[in-house]
Structure 1
Amino acid sequence: MGDGRDVAARPRRKSESSLDILRSNVSTTVLSSVATFGRAMRSGAEATKIGVVDLVRLRLQTHETLAQAWFLITVTAIPGVLMAIPFGVIVSAQVGNLVHQLGADSLIGAAGGLGVIKQGAPLATGLLLGGAGSAAIAADLGARTIREEIDAMRVMGIDPVQRLVVPRMIAMLIVAPLLNILIIVVGIAAGYIVAIAALDVTPGSYWASFGSFTTSIDVWVSLGKSTIFGYLVVVIGCQRGLEAKGGPRGVADGVNAAVILSVVSIALVNVVITQLVTMFFPTRLA
């Protein structure tokens, strides 16, 4: 009997052990995620404060900021155009076919234009900056961290946030709306060509519906979303780079984490902003 009870107790203890391990892993993951979010918010607030003070006191590192801005433009401009063209074509073709079945061909311009301005351009901007910009920033700062350059700067009394993070943040905030405007122009032009050439929409009808439903608020919201996405991307990239450890493997892990966190953050924030904008600024005739 004693042997039977022992045999019956073993699976139970094993099951409880597995459950404890699962609970421990979940709690550890959640706590680690909250801690990472807290560090990102703290580093973002610190960099923003230092950047504002440097701008007011005219101590901004202009050369480094312009160099970082030019680098971001070179790695995102051409991919942005290549993303905007198929996006504009797809939106115009899909919406055009649906609208054509409803007999409202004159609304193709409005639907395609609003789709590109309010959703397509900001998301494409954020994903490009998250995929190229955030990865480059995390790799650069991560390499400096594992080479102990960041520690050396602190020993010499140089704030790495002021010297390295702030110029990249300001450069990202400059490039994000510019890239957004480029994608808007290219996307709408691509949609216009498809509507005229393939869907037999007259140019006057396309632009009339586009102008009737698109307002300046839509453009400003698009620019604001792209700027917020750029801010999230640069904060995440800088944080993962400055926290890299473990040699080249740690830098690679930091770059991977920066890209994934950037994409997820952009998707979540986009949903929140879209709901808020829909509540306070519903689509209406201009």
Structure 2
Amino acid sequence: MNQPAATMTAPPGAGPELIGTVELDESTSNGPSRSPWYERLAHHVVTTIRLSLGTVGRSAQLSAEVLRYSVVDLVRLRLPMLEVLTQTWTLLKVTALPALLMAVPLGAEVSVQVGGLMNQVGASSLAGAASGLGVISQGAPMATGLLMSGAAASAVASDLGARTIREEIDAMRVMGIDPVERLVMPRFIAMIFIAPILCIVIIAAGVFAGLTIAVTVNDVVPGSFWQSLGAFATTTDVAFAMLKALAFAALVVLVASLRGLEAKGGPRGVADAVNASVVLSVVCIFITNLVITQLQSMFFPAQIS
């Protein structure tokens, strides 16, 4: 009871070097000291940037490997055509019907908005050009990309993620089989195959839906609709729409494959990989669409054909 609180006697049986009293440090008694908030913030920012750069690097490496395997296997006539056709049919099944269901309301909505504005300014004869260009230039490619990022990307990420957590990917590497060549490359080629098909389906369904709304609601003559569409819409617009669809397809399959191959943590990890692949694909699609649209406006400005 008379011993000071700031001293502590060594336990019985301790060596001579432990005998004595030990001064209690004030910082030790109050717990470990924390660094200032700005140091923690700077550490968090640096860590986030480093991890982001690492992800970009792995994505670039995966893209280079996929392109290399695609070219080499095509030249050597070693493309796994059965796997490519299987993946093409699988991805087409999950995207074809949603593409048609998405195209009809898309074309109808554009036609309703544009038709009302054209009637107000007395230019209803240009409804076909306005609604058709809206569907061809922006609506169809964006709908194709969002459809692939929602349906196709989730299918690819879930498949590869499930294989990863079951250690099938590690087993393939042990057997000397590159999973990029065996699994990712066929899905990449399959996505490149179905992207133009989906874009054409959405363009056709969207334009015909716009024509139906323009004729039945806005009293536009069908001949005037097609004439204005043919006068303003050019093959350049269709070519850039296909280019956007192909770029979106490549981004979607690469992002989904990377997330699936890096999945960990059991079924929860697969769900996180699917969620991340969808979100990242959508962000990449919007950025890529902005860049390609700006390039088209700079080098191929819109004009009457």
TM superposition score category, shorter chain reference: over 0.9
Unpaired runs of at least 5, structure 1: 1-12
**What are the superposed Cα offsets for residues 31-73 of structure 1, whole Å, 9 maximum, x if unpaired?**
2122111211110111111111111111001111111111111
Aligned twin of 2:117: 98
Q: How far did residue 27 of structure 1 move?
A: 2.2
After TM superposition, the score normalised by the length of structure 1 is 0.93
SS in 1 for 2:302: coil
Highest Rg: 1 or 2?
A: 2
Aligned partner of residue 122 in structure 2, secondary structure: coil
Cα deviation, residue 30, structure 1: 2.2
TM superposition score normalised by structure 2: 0.88
Gaps of 5+ in 2: 1-32
Q: Say which SS state the counterpart of residue 218 (structure 2) adopts.
A: coil
- Asked if 1:252 corresponds to 2:271, the answer is yes
Q: Which residue of structure 2 aligns with residue 65 of structure 1?
A: 84
> In 1, Cα distance between the equivalents of 2:179 and 2:251?
19
Offset of 1:20 from its aligned partner? 2.0
Q: Which has the higher helix share?
A: 1
For these two proteins, the number of residue pairs brought into alignment is: 275
SS in 2 for 1:60: coil
Report how far residue 277 of structure 1 moved: 0.3
Aligned counterpart in structure 1 of residue 50 of structure 2, from 31, 45, 50: 31
Instruction: Give the Å deviation of 1:22.
Output: 2.2
The CA deviation at 1:249 is 1.3
CA distance in 2, matches of 1:263, 1:37: 16
Pick from 138, 143, 155: which aligns with 2:157? 138
Q: Which residue of 1 aligns with 2:4?
A: none
Pick one of 185, 200, 204 that aligns with 1:185.
Answer: 204
- 1:19: Cα distance to partner? 2.2
Corresponding position: 1:176 with 2:198: no
1:176 positional shift: 0.5
Residue of 100, 104, 124 corresponding to 1:81: 100
CA displacement 1:49-107 (0-9 Å, x = unmatched): 11111111110011111111111111111111111111101111101111111111111
How far apart, CA to CA, are the structure 2 residues paired with 1:31 and 1:107? 52
Q: Which amino acid aligns with 1:67?
A: T
What is residue 118 of structure 1 aligned with on the other side? 137
CA deviation digits over 1:192-221, x for unaligned, max 9? 000000000001110000000011111111
Separation (CA, whole Å) in 2 of partners of 1:150 and 1:178: 31
Structure with more contact order per residue of length (Cα contacts < 8 Å, sep ≥ 6)? 1
Residue 200 of structure 1 corresponds to 219
CA distance in 2, matches of 1:45, 1:200: 53
> Are residues 1:151 and 2:178 paired?
no
Alignment match, 2:244: 225
**SS of the counterpart of 1:130?**
helix
Indicate the residue corresponding to 1:56 in structure 2: 75
Give the deviation of 1:26 after TM superposition: 2.3
Q: Is 1:271 aligned to residue 295 of structure 2?
A: no
Q: Identify the residue that residue 261 of structure 2 maps to in structure 1.
A: 242
Amino acid paired to 1:66: L
Aligned equivalents of 2:118 and 2:49: distance in 1?
46
Q: Aligned partner of 2:218: which letter?
A: L
1:109 aligns with 2:128: yes
Cα distance, 1:21 vs. partner? 1.9
**Partner SS state of residue 59, structure 1:** coil
Percentage identity across paired residues of the two chains: 57
Q: Partner residue of 2:13?
A: none
